[in-house]
Amino acid sequence: MKDCTSLLKQFKFNAKENVKTRGFKKDPVGDSYAKIEDGILQKYKGRLLVLASDKCARQCRFCFRRNTPIKKASPEALRKALTLNKDIKEVILSGGDPMMLKKKELQKFFDVIPAHIRIRIHTRIVNFNPLFEKLGSRLTFVSHINHPAELNEKTAKNFSKLAKCGVTLLNQSVLLKGVNDNAEILAELSEKLFSQRVLPYYLHQLDRAQGTAHFEVPIKKAKQIVKELKGMVSGYLVPRFVREIKGEKSKVWV
């Protein structure tokens, strides 16, 4: 029951979302400043971020894009951006959630990405798509799982299918008050992810989007949680604790 409550907090509306909090912004990570085409952002050298979909399977209440309407990219816009940016080594499909796209829609994006460029998918949906078989080791699949209760036999089966195709499997989480803000939960998450062939990648300090302040874990407590986590699991199961700061050339380690 406790696990169910933690899961529900991620998606259930809370009246605290209507409270305006100083320091929390409409666009906390600077998406608008990084835009080069509709739905296409370049925040970091050598990478393009593509908002391939404007839909999600669930509405995460802590989402940093909750206050900004998503103008999704088109395959043609991506083709243009790649033509103008010859130093791109990786295209990251995000949104919304790219796994909400139909196979034909997803294939159109794959078709305009040259074979020498890596593809990364960021998603809340752990599912297998036959299109991924052709991409193999060229594809990195980054799931967004915050709590061990989100993992089950179905996720294990789909991760296994992806791994057999040679896909790199990573996970990123957000540290959320009342959801996963203790080392025991995070340790269980890391162990369970690895048992399903997924490597913990990032643990994000909350992006300060207006309406999400009730999810924020104070930085002093967050650092203590990560310190405790390091003493509970093998080093390769400790995700990098990071935050995104507008204008920085990469994620910033906390």
CATH code: domain of residue 77:
3.20.20.70
Residue written as tokens 């971020």? Answer: 49
* pLDDT for 240 beyond 90: yes
Going by the DSSP 8-state scheme, the letter that residue 150 receives in this structure is G
Residue 2 phi, psi dihedral angles, 5° rounding: -60, -40
- The predicted-structure confidence for 136-167, as pLDDT tens digits, reads as follows 999 999 999 999 999 999 999 999 999 999 99
Q: pLDDT category, 246, cuts 50, 70, 90?
A: confident
Higher pLDDT, 247 or 253: 253
- Looking up tokens 């993992």 gives 151
Cβ-Cβ contacts under 8 Å for 110 (sequence gap 6 or more):
119, 131, 135
Instruction: For residue 243, list its beta bridge partners.
Output: 252
| Bridge partners (DSSP) listed for residue 27 | none
d(CA 47, CA 98): 17
> Regarding predicted confidence, which is higher, 60 or 69?
60
How confident is the model over 80-105, as a mean pLDDT?
Answer: 96
pLDDT band at 2 (very low <50, low <70, confident <90, very high): low
Using N-to-C axis directions, what is the helix angle for 75-84 and 103-111, rounded to 10°?
20
Closest residue by Cα to residue 219 from 209, 204, 236: 204
Q: Tell me what pLDDT residue 4 has.
A: 75
Residue-averaged pLDDT of the chain:
96
User: How confident is the model over 168-173, as a mean pLDDT?
Assistant: 98
82 is in which domain, residue-wise? 2-253
- Hunting for tokens 């912004």 — which residue is that? 25
- Quote the percentage of the chain above a pLDDT of 90: 92
Give me the residue label for tokens 């994000």: 204
Q: How many domains does the chain have?
A: 1
Among residues 227, 215, 139, the alpha carbon closest in space to that of 173 is found at 215
